[in-house]
Chain A
């Protein structure tokens, strides 16, 4: 369980029934929406209940969930990270450059090892840079991460001279195309990341201190919590996860395009976090919620497409979902 508020909710003595309803909707709304979507599709969408459909949807949602987990942690600590899409582009274009030996000459084996590690480390360091801007200069997170949102994609384009890199490298592409026991590797990675982050957020000192910093930074500092160091770590983790998502996306496509990798990802991730019930002002977060939120958004899109509604209309529905999620949060906030 990654829900941070697993405790039984006890409304204040005179709390109106409506408020606890709102709280229940906030907590279980995403789950209910997901179940309803699955039931709807099972009834009306042809071939929905097939292994193929499950895999398609899970594969589509992987990158968003992996980035969304990082985003959940950043938002829980009271920040936000707009740079994730650009960091995906850097990591996604860096990997082929390394294993194709365009950056420096390497043996194929070493090149592959470096292609997995160097981009993720680079993205983590850039995330650390975000954290440094936020904590050292007290720049608002939305502005601090805007720096790499803009510059990051530029860096990726400069590295590749703006060219599309096409490659066929089965070992590297295993991360995006491979399967273990029929389950896509990226789905396994996603599940591990969700489980680890959920556990860390609920059970570890780091996770609880992170939520304390997001919930009341001044009280956290006076309780001896090293809030700056926690913030820096959180941005580094968000960067590393964006780096991993970048690798998965280019491996899946067999091509790296600095202009397109991770484009708009920051907004998809924030949408998943919001729909998942994490408080956007910090202090309350649910990693499982983010997973469910991403699945709901994906499934709504799939449902509309499978039933002949154009993608453009699906975008409008996605926006509606976000408004609904935020509205539910506002209502629940007034309770207890």
Chain B
């Protein structure tokens, strides 16, 4: 009998469905992987299981009994422990205190320190971790802290441990230690729900995999019975009919001289070794699963982060951007992934947001030429079809699609040579989406180089002249016109070993 059985789960937020028909079963002592693209509904599913959200419909049984956890505490009491990406422990207290946080053993009303330290040591010893349990938690590395979180979970008699992206902050050796811990849990009959974007990890430690897409569970397979290729295909979906008519099939065009050539870019664990070249008039898509280093590559190109290794050539000459302002000076523009956090200045007007980067060029002796500013603003509002009441309106009052157009105009007004766009159509409506993509295509036609980061294969296939596929922080394939199709992109996303050449390598 399954330890956890969730069936027909539905959940909507403000009438927007997040889960439509999701299910999940985990056997006792089983390590279950849960995979899906961003927005597939994984985290909503986990939050319902752990009591953070209430489901709208569906059944949830735990250990054979129907349950309905009103809050995370209730789920914990029932035996479900969650280990989050950002671990919720107290860094400045000792390891032992963290293991027993909230249920410290007492003696005559005082904390029984000797017993607590002894039991904490024993709890950690099960996972072959031997540390000074009286030292503050903050003195240990991320892996040890995760071990402490797990020891804490297990010492509370957890029957199921949920690990949500637990490995994302660990290095390889630490990941190996964590895997040993998972195997120990399994041996003791504890189930694990393991969420990770790193496919290799799933194969290393999981028994089965549950695949989610668009709020529904679309498949459950034994890990040994599904190839990486099939896994990626299932995650991304095959509804790619729209990709048939490529936007640029009509006017064939040639790429010009190289604008930037990057080699061996590396930064931290997310970006290990990326090669990338962009010619003028060319749309180069950066494809890859979440966490493959796409955004990191874009940020390093733009000078928003400094690379730790690698070289960057602009028009054949070596450059190193220390700040985005230097990249902008060189003619780069960067449409960031998160409009709210890195794009708009919410309290400023549309006009000012649109001319934010251009402003110094619109000024005489430091004073903004309002007439010139208004002229630029009106021109781009017309050109991009931005719908608004007035250019003096605050940008936060606009819809997502119109905000995105304003931010695109911010860079177009600069007359850039290279435009980097990170998920340009995320969270905007279908009409605005088409407008933005068409605009990018037109710009490339006019000689601009474009680097496009996108999770949507359709978008990549319909727009890109070339695709650089990233996997685990490395550029693994470079696909040219004629080889850009769903199969080859997915094959490259799932590959580990860098390959070049033949389209079906």
Contacts and interface: CB of A to CB of B under 8 A. Distances in A.
Interface of A: 5, 7-8, 10, 12, 203-206, 208-209, 211-212, 215-216, 218-226, 279, 283-284, 336
Given A10-B393, A205-B363, A212-B348, A225 B356 contact: yes
Interface string B385-404: 00001101110110000000
B324 A222 contact: yes
B291 interface: no
A220 B345 contact: yes
A216 B346 contact: yes
30 contacts: A7-B392, A8-B390, A12-B397, A204-B367, A205-B363, A205-B366, A206-B366, A208-B348, A208-B359, A211-B347, A212-B352, A215-B346, A216-B344, A216-B345, A218-B341, A218-B342, A219-B341, A219-B344, A219-B345, A220-B345, A221-B323, A222-B304, A222-B334, A222-B343, A223-B324, A223-B328, A223-B356, A224-B325, A284-B347, A336-B396
Interface in B355-397: 356-357, 359-360, 363, 366-368, 370, 389-390, 392-394, 396-397
Q: Among A209, A220, A222, which residue has the most Cβ atoms of chain B within 10 A?
A: A222
Contacts of B295: none
Contact of B349 (A7, A12, A203): A7
A260 B461 CA distance: 72
B347 A209 contact: no
Given A216-B346, A283-B347, 11 more contacts: A10-B390, A10-B397, A203-B370, A212-B345, A212-B348, A212-B356, A216-B341, A218-B342, A219-B336, A283-B345, A283-B348
Complex A-B, nearest 10 residue pairs according to Cβ-Cβ distance, in ascending order? A7-B392, A224-B328, A224-B325, A215-B345, A223-B357, A223-B356, A205-B363, A216-B345, A218-B342, A283-B347
B305 to A, nearest CB: 11
B270 interface: no
Contacts of B279: none
A215 B363 CA distance: 21
A205 B324 contact: no
Nearest to B388: A10
Contacts of A203: 367-368, 370
B397 A336 contact: yes
A215 B347 contact: yes
A87 to B, nearest CB: 26
B139 to A, nearest CB: 23
Contacts of B366: 204-206
A114 B391 CA distance: 49
A243 to B, nearest CB: 23
B417 interface: no
A218 B341 CA distance: 7
Interface in B289-341: 302, 304, 323-325, 328-329, 334, 336, 341
Contacts of A218: 341-342
Contact of A224 (B341, B357, B370, B394): B357
B410 interface: yes
Contacts of A211: 345, 347-348
Nearest to B393: A10
B390 A7 contact: yes
Contacts of B370: 203
Contacts of B346: 215-216, 283
Contacts of B394: 7, 336
A336 B368 CA distance: 27
Contact of A219 (B328, B329, B342): B342
A219 B363 CA distance: 21
Contacts of B392: 7-8
B359 A205 contact: yes
Nearest to A229: B325
A66 B10 CA distance: 60
Nearest to A9: B394
Nearest to A212: B345
**Which of B302, B328, B347, B389 has its CB near the most chain A CB atoms (within 10 A)?**
B347
Contacts of A206: 366
Nearest to B299: A222
A265 to B, nearest CB: 28
Contacts of A222: 302, 304, 324, 334, 336, 342-343
B343 A208 contact: no
Contacts of A10: 389-390, 393, 397
A218 B339 CA distance: 11
Nearest to B398: A12
Contacts of B341: 216, 218-219
A8 B396 CA distance: 15
Most buried by B among A7, A224, A226: A224
A336 B366 CA distance: 32
A215 B394 CA distance: 12
Contacts of B336: 219, 222
Contacts of B329: 224
A108 to B, nearest CB: 38
A284 B324 CA distance: 24
A224 B393 contact: no
Nearest to B365: A204
A286 to B, nearest CB: 12
A204 B357 contact: no
Contacts of A216: 341-342, 344-346
A329 B329 CA distance: 38
B390 to A, nearest CB: 7
A226 B329 CA distance: 12
Given A8-B390, A10-B393, A225-B356, A205 B368 contact: yes
B325 A225 contact: yes
A283 B396 CA distance: 13
A184 to B, nearest CB: 30
A314 B261 CA distance: 68
A85 B432 CA distance: 53
A205 B329 CA distance: 17
B462 to A, nearest CB: 27
A203 B347 CA distance: 16
B232 to A, nearest CB: 31
Interface in B91-114: none
B368 A208 contact: yes
A159 B268 CA distance: 50
Nearest to B392: A7
Nearest to A279: B347
Q: Which of B345, B363, B370, B389 has the most CB of A within 10 A?
A: B345
B359 A209 contact: yes
Given A222-B342, A223-B356, A204 B368 contact: yes
Interface string B136-153: 000000000000000000
A206 B363 CA distance: 10
Contacts of B352: 208, 212
A212 B395 CA distance: 13
B62 to A, nearest CB: 40
Contacts of B368: 203-205, 208
